[in-house]
Amino acid sequence: MERRGKSNASHPRGGVNADLPYIEETIAQGEITIGIIPPIKECVAIAHEGKHTLAMLKRRPGESLAQLLNRLELAIALAHTADIFTDEINRPA
C-alpha cells in the first residue's frame, strides 16, 4: 500500500466547530465512525454508545467534513435530549 505524503497546507483549514460536546461525550462513552463502511458505497458518520446507535448520517453531495461533523453533533444532541434517533442509512422502502 502506498503512503500518502504530508499535506502541503500551510495552516489547518477552518470550518469545524471546535465545541462539539456531544461528539466528545460519545467518544468517551462509545464510538464515532466516519468513512465508507461496506456494503455502503457512500461516506457515513455513525455514533454508538454501548448497544445504542444514536445517529447514522450519509454525507451529502458537496458536504464538507466540518458540515458532516456539525450535523452529527446536532443528531447526537437530539438523541440525548429528545430521544430522536437519526437514521439516514436504513430508509424505509
CA nearest to 57, candidates 90, 80, 79: 90
CB 40 within 8 A of CB 56: no
Q: Is 36 helix (H, G, I), strand (E, B) or coil?
A: strand
* pLDDT tens digit sequence for 37-73: 998 899 999 999 999 999 999 999 999 999 999 999 9
Residues 89 and 47: beta-carbon distance below 8 Å: no
Q: pTM, whole model, 2 decimals?
A: 0.79
Q: In this predicted structure, what is the pLDDT of residue 92?
A: 73
**Model confidence at 91, in pLDDT bands (50, 70, 90)?**
confident
The C-alpha torsion from 63 through 35 and 14 to 8, rounded to 10°, is -110
Question: Grid coordinates in use for 32?
Answer: 464515532
| pLDDT per position as a tens digit, 5-26 | 544 444 445 555 568 999 999 9
**pLDDT for 69:** 96
Going from N- to C-terminal start, the domains of the chain cover: 21-87
